[in-house]
Amino acid sequence: MLWIQGVIGIWLIAALAFHLAEVGLIGLSVIILVTSFCGITEEHAIGKAFQDAMPFTALLNVFFAIVAVIIDQQLFTPLIQFVLQGSAQNQLTLFYLFNGLLSSISDNVFVGSIYINEAHQAFVQGRISQEQFELLAVAINTGTNLPSVATPNGQAAFLFLLTSALAPLIRLSYGKMVVMALPYTIVMTLVGWLCVAFALVPATELLTEWQWIALPKL
């Protein structure tokens, strides 16, 4: 079974890396392959995995509702307008910091989706260039993934572990997880900020000059 799971793990990595299919279809293929080749074909045995994930799923629904309200009420619009008033370099830093702060409070994927949508609207309206939009997309993704490890709210993997049946067995609480993640939060946030503030633009220009990357046509 371990060999089978290892091979399917390689398939998962390769399929995601080369975009062989939609993410949902890749995940579904993993479920089908693992269960069938490991002999798990009984309905109740398969359902147990989904049952353990129900608390996490409920929290995701809450996050979806919160994000829907934020988008509908345009609560982030004043903040986005304030950031876009700064210089191009300051926009990268501010997007990174604001995304990191909000991502540690709410799920990083949802926060990143809102900011990417707002940045795209600014690009469509002609307020920023395509080059700046591409750089802002990098800053947003970096900000939502690195500082968000500060709390289980920001990282879905942390939240899933905290809501799982394993948490009480290992005496894992919300506060303990925050304390354990604190060194990683500090180091990763600082390294990410240094890269976005000082290395992103020069590195992008250098790789573009070497023709390693090209600006996509939007």
Q: How does pLDDT run across 168-215, given as a tens digit for each residue?
A: 888 888 899 999 999 999 999 999 999 998 999 999 889 888 888 876
Same domain, 68 and 132: yes
Same domain, 100 and 17: no
Over the stretch 105-164, which tens digit does the pLDDT of each residue have?
A: 877 887 888 888 888 888 888 888 888 899 999 999 998 889 989 988 888 778 878 877
Percent of the chain with pLDDT over 70: 98
Lowest mean pLDDT among 26-35, 79-88, 125-134, 165-174: 79-88
Same domain, 41 and 137: no
Same domain, 76 and 42: no
Same domain, 118 and 204: yes
Q: Which domain holds residue 23?
A: 1-51
Same domain, 97 and 190: yes
Same domain, 34 and 9: yes
Question: What is the pTM assigned to this prediction?
Answer: 0.74
Same domain, 67 and 38: no
Q: Residue 218 domain-assigned?
A: no
- At residue 52's C-alpha, the angle toward residues 62 and 54, to 5°, is 20
Q: What is the 3-state secondary structure (H, E, C) of the chain?
A: CHHHHHHHHHHHHHHHHCCCCCHHHHHHHHHHHHHHHCCCCCHHHHHHHHHHCHHHHHHHHHHHHHHHHHHHHCCCHHHHHHHHCCCHHHHHHHHHHHHHHHHCCCCHHHHHHHHHHHHHHHHHCCCCCHHHHHHHHHHHHHHHHCHHHHCCCCCHHHHHHHCCCHHHHCCCCHHHHHHHHHHHHHHHHHHHHHHHHHHHHHHHHHHHHCCCCCCCCC
- Counted domains in the chain: 2
Same domain, 96 and 17: no
Same domain, 46 and 108: no
Same domain, 4 and 57: no
Q: Residue 214 domain-assigned?
A: no
